[in-house]
A and B are shown apart, each in its own frame.
Chain A
């Protein structure tokens, strides 16, 4: 097996960063917000990072200054000061794409084709473009428009758009176009000749003369002239042996040439006088640094996990390990399955269901493990039914319903059903499966029959409710903070009792786009003849 060298680590880290910025918008979408941002500004566990150029644009033009941005910009600059422009070779996702394009281009295109003939030093052109762009920004714009030239930001922004608002941004055409041009030019044009974001970190690294850089020991070199391994390895098409002032500014310290030279003569190597001066014995220092870092990372992660965990005591009475979040599938004409949910509610589906009362059913475990209680109407806990498991709850055994209320016993004769399946409820189904709604027909004095629709919404997640059914015309469902009720009142009939049963259909639309339908069959009249009919709205 190939031994892992510097290049393997580098590629792994590049891919990790590129994948991380695909996953982060997905995490944010599912309400995980410890890590967010793109390459212009980024927060990871409270630590800010920012694009130095973007911050410079804010600062220079209008003297806008925030501590968050300052620290964020300082961190990449400090990194550049000590290690050179490693951001380009280790982090930047466009750098990864460009490097891979360059590799493919060198393999696919014929060797006689040397690529687009361009001058050797890219940095002066880059500087000219940068200064020109900055002058344009300074004269004509207050918006930091140079941000729009950041290819790394466009890469991250594409996924922000895609996962955040389901919109396919056209910036992928821009990135692909650049890569295609680079493929045929056989040179990393954007990184070497244009990229304005890299200017600041290059200038910062030039301040430090003792930064990390590649040095060449001529006496060790054994390659034939014209067949240098290091030249082939360098994706920026620099010549690592002749790295002098202007060319060295472009080197991103990726270390590909050092790795290639290890097999030949070890003539190229990294030298970082500053780090060596600061840490005399690098090996011991590295050992302790690694340990310290490991302890810090583990400590910090465990702290976060501790914060995320919920130690509040669970609501009593609903914890029943065997039954919670389980689906019981029955061989019955009336009910196909019963979903027993953790939050204390039961949803019946299939067969003749969902019918009146399916929404808002509650369940309670009993002392014996094989019995549980279903309360179909939370407003009337007197009428309940007990469910007896014949033995354990498992596929193959049977259950028996026993009804103590009057309303239910007509619908269900006491009988047994075979459990055909007993399984966990798939995740995601549970979330909104329990809208508590009801439809009641009241009889008032003077034989006025009024239909009352009501849906509970204590948190305010419902956007709209559409109604349909017998005796229902153009009713509007209005919210009253805690619940939705129909307005105006629906007077079904006056003088004579209406013919029963009749059905009502409600479609509940949530803010997140999810919809749920409820079907109610009204077959009973609630007696309120002792009260005068009084419409609360008028």
Chain B
């Protein structure tokens, strides 16, 4: 939300430092987003106000990659969806219905845009998130018990010139 620092950048965003240096705060990515998941950041922080953010609990990213295609200053890099690293989803096995063996849920697996790469089913039943996860937050959004939480990777790679936050 407005005050929280735990938000994602749109897909294809460069490392946070480079992203902020490139972002013109024009809000075009929010205007072309057909799922209304990209919001312009609010608040009085002059370095951040107007930059795009995604809150997967409200509306997740569907990896349609429209925003990165139109970004005029290349703050959002036009990358393949398999190279997107917006965040990293973590599954709490103590909450997950399938891991608790209450029922066979598969909500997250069925919705995952990169299924069988980012999310695999161990022994054909139990969901496991791999390193290929793009961090779009769809699984966090659909999970009926809130067992999945996406952690943003914004601050993990500060190297300049890194491509697409990969």
Q: Which residues of A contact B (CB under 8 A)?
A: 24-25, 28, 31, 33, 36-38, 40-43, 48, 50-51, 54-55, 58, 61-62, 64, 66, 68-69, 72, 141-145, 147-148, 153, 157, 160-161, 164-165, 167, 169, 460, 463, 476, 478-481, 487-488, 511-512, 537-538
Which residues on A sit within 8 Å (CB–CB) of B111? 460, 479, 481
**Are A169 and B42 CB-contacts (below 8 A) given A28-B31, A58-B73, A66-B74?**
yes
B74 partner, pick from A33, A64, A460, A478, beta carbons under 8 A: A64
Main secondary structure of the interface of B (DSSP, over half): loop
**Are A69 and B103 CB-contacts (below 8 A) given A148-B46, A160-B40, A165-B40?**
no
Decide if B20 touches A66 in the complex (CB within 8 Å): no
Cα of A128 to Cα of B104 in the assembled complex, Å: 68
Decide if B73 touches A48 in the complex (CB within 8 Å): no
Cα of A488 to Cα of B23 in the assembled complex, Å: 48
Which residues on A sit within 8 Å (CB–CB) of B31? 24-25, 28, 33, 36-37, 160, 164
* B70 lies within 8 A of chain A by Cβ: yes
Closest 8 CB pairs of A and B: A41-B26, A142-B21, A36-B31, A28-B31, A68-B72, A40-B26, A143-B47, A143-B20
24 residue pairs bridging A and B, Cβ less than 8 Å apart: A28-B32, A36-B28, A36-B31, A37-B26, A37-B27, A37-B28, A48-B72, A54-B24, A58-B22, A64-B21, A64-B22, A66-B73, A69-B24, A142-B21, A143-B21, A145-B47, A157-B25, A161-B40, A165-B36, A165-B39, A476-B144, A480-B110, A487-B105, A512-B36
B50 partner, pick from A36, A61, A157, A537, beta carbons under 8 A: A157
**Are A160 and B24 CB-contacts (below 8 A) given A31-B34, A66-B74, A167-B42?**
no
Cα of A460 to Cα of B22 in the assembled complex, Å: 34
Which residues on B sit within 8 Å (CB–CB) of A141? 47
Decide if A481 touches B28 in the complex (CB within 8 Å): no
Apart from A37-B72, A144-B25, A476-B105: 10 A-B pairs, beta carbons within 8 A: A36-B31, A36-B32, A143-B20, A143-B21, A147-B50, A164-B36, A476-B97, A479-B110, A481-B110, A481-B111
**Are A142 and B17 CB-contacts (below 8 A) given A164-B27, A511-B59?**
yes
| Segment 83-121 of B: residues with Cβ below 8 Å from A | 97, 103-107, 110-111
Cα of A441 to Cα of B39 in the assembled complex, Å: 44
Decide if A479 touches B107 in the complex (CB within 8 Å): yes
Decide if B40 touches A157 in the complex (CB within 8 Å): yes
Cα of A98 to Cα of B22 in the assembled complex, Å: 31
- Shortest CB–CB separation between residue A146 and chain B, in angstroms? 10
Cα of A481 to Cα of B115 in the assembled complex, Å: 12
Residue picked from B31, B42, B106, most chain A C-beta under 10 Å: B31
- Shortest CB–CB separation between residue B76 and chain A, in angstroms? 11
Chain B residue with the shortest CB-CB distance to A49 = B72
Which residues on B sit within 8 Å (CB–CB) of A31? 34
| Segment 1-58 of B: residues with Cβ below 8 Å from A | 17-18, 20-28, 30-32, 34-36, 39-40, 42, 46-47, 49-50
Residue picked from A24, A169, A479, most chain B C-beta under 10 Å: A479
A61 partner, pick from B21, B25, B47, beta carbons under 8 A: B21
Decide if B70 touches A43 in the complex (CB within 8 Å): yes
- Shortest CB–CB separation between residue A291 and chain B, in angstroms? 33
- Shortest CB–CB separation between residue B73 and chain A, in angstroms? 5
Decide if B25 touches A147 in the complex (CB within 8 Å): yes
* B142 lies within 8 A of chain A by Cβ: yes
Cα of A144 to Cα of B28 in the assembled complex, Å: 17
Cα of A479 to Cα of B107 in the assembled complex, Å: 6
Which residues on A sit within 8 Å (CB–CB) of B36? 164-165, 512
